Amino acid sequence: MKNSDCLASAIAIMKYTGVWLPDNLQRRQKIAYIACGVVTQIFIFYFMIFAEIAYVYKHRHDVERMVDAAVLLLSHLVQAVKVMTVILRQESIKRLIDLGDGPDFTHADPKLRAIVDRAVKLTGLVGSLIICSAFVTSVFWCVVPALQDQLTLPLNTAYPFDTSGPYIFTAIYAYLSVSVTTVGMADAAENFLVSGLLMLAATQVDLLNQLLLDINAEGATVSYKKTVRCIMFHQRIIDYVKEIGRIFDVPIFCQCIVSSVILCMTVFKITVTREPIELVTMIFYLVCIFMELLMYCYPADVLLNKSLRVADAAFPGWSGDVNTARALVLIALRSQKPLTIDAGGMFRISLPTAALVVKTSYTYYALLQQTLSK
């Protein structure tokens, strides 16, 4: 089992949507895939975004309609940033995945291998559940208009042509249903790509702690060599986390900033809707948005806390020669600076960050309610 097996479902979704270039393609196959990917993204994704922007501009003086349309529009704009990040930095992401599968992060010790395998299986299961939840929410979103007394399109969009005719309305409805479902699953896959990489990094910190705990006084030379290997392993983990932050800092920053607004608008729609099915759909969507935020904040928080425990593992009551003790001091001192992911270089990603986003969204919601009441 490879360490990157937990990312298999996310990578498969991105391949099908034309975002992730498969390996080992010949030149003509690569050109054909890129061309199909560009057409797919423009037709299914960006054309839908332009229609949503046109609707918001058309109803820019109607606050309620703007709020209703902006819920998905903001999500799609942030997803556009994620898509461009994956496309433009794909080679760096693939090198990062290969590094996680390489000898630097693969251990022959059965005990360490068992820890990694459990983490990979659990992370892969969580990723599959997240993608399935995104699929269910997208299906609900597309089915709701068909169950209402007056049939409407799944999304609030505006087009430069009349969509009221029976044939064109059916075609637009089918197009939006396919787009919403595909884009929803792709967004979940792109989010989980970052989350899975962070969980793999946290697992490697677990292995480092275990290796430090296994250092004992069986001999000065052997203990010192083990400690040096731990120092090198620690540095590789640090470089690995820095690379994750360098690649994904912009989409993480955009997600955290926009999530507060999206949560606010979603809660507002839940409080004003009178349709039971739409209420269930919006609740599903609210859960998905919150899970989307936690997919960044929770693994980053786990990584942060585990990295702070490295110093405790370096000194488990062990005593030995002076050289080994000095090397362990270096690890302990370096671990005082936790492994973190900074969003756009402005703030640290962790569970307190998620709590702050929720608090900010409530402030926006209270302001929106006050504005509409006037």
Q: What predicted TM-score, i.e. pTM, was given to this entire model?
A: 0.88
pLDDT at 317: 54
pLDDT at 240: 92
pLDDT at 221: 72
Three-state DSSP at 61 gives coil
- Centroid of chain to Cα 24: 26
Give the DSSP letter of residue 105.
G
Q: Which two tokens stand for residue 50?
A: 């332009």
DSSP of 297-348 = HHHHHHHHHHHHTHHHHH-SS----HHHHHHHHHHHHHTTS----EETTTEE
Residue 143 CB coordination number (10 Å): 13
Report how far residue 6's alpha carbon sits from residue 201's, in angstroms, rounded to the nearest whole number: 13
Q: What is the sign of the dihedral through the CA atoms of 172, 178, 184 and 189?
A: negative
pLDDT at 27: 85
Please choose, from the candidates 228, 234, 195, the residue with its C-alpha nearest in 3D space to the C-alpha of residue 337: 234
Yes or no: say if 325 and 212 are a contact pair by the CB < 8 Å rule.
no
Residue 214 CB coordination number (10 Å): 15
| Largest Cα–Cα separation, the chain | 84
Report how far residue 308's alpha carbon sits from residue 303's, in angstroms, rounded to the nearest whole number: 9
pLDDT at 92: 92
Q: Torsions phi, psi of 217, nearest 5?
A: -90, 45
Q: What is the mean pLDDT of each run of 10 residues along the chain (374 residues)?
A: 86 90 86 88 88 84 74 84 90 90 83 86 89 85 78 81 83 88 89 91 89 71 81 91 90 87 82 73 80 88 89 70 80 85 82 87 79 66
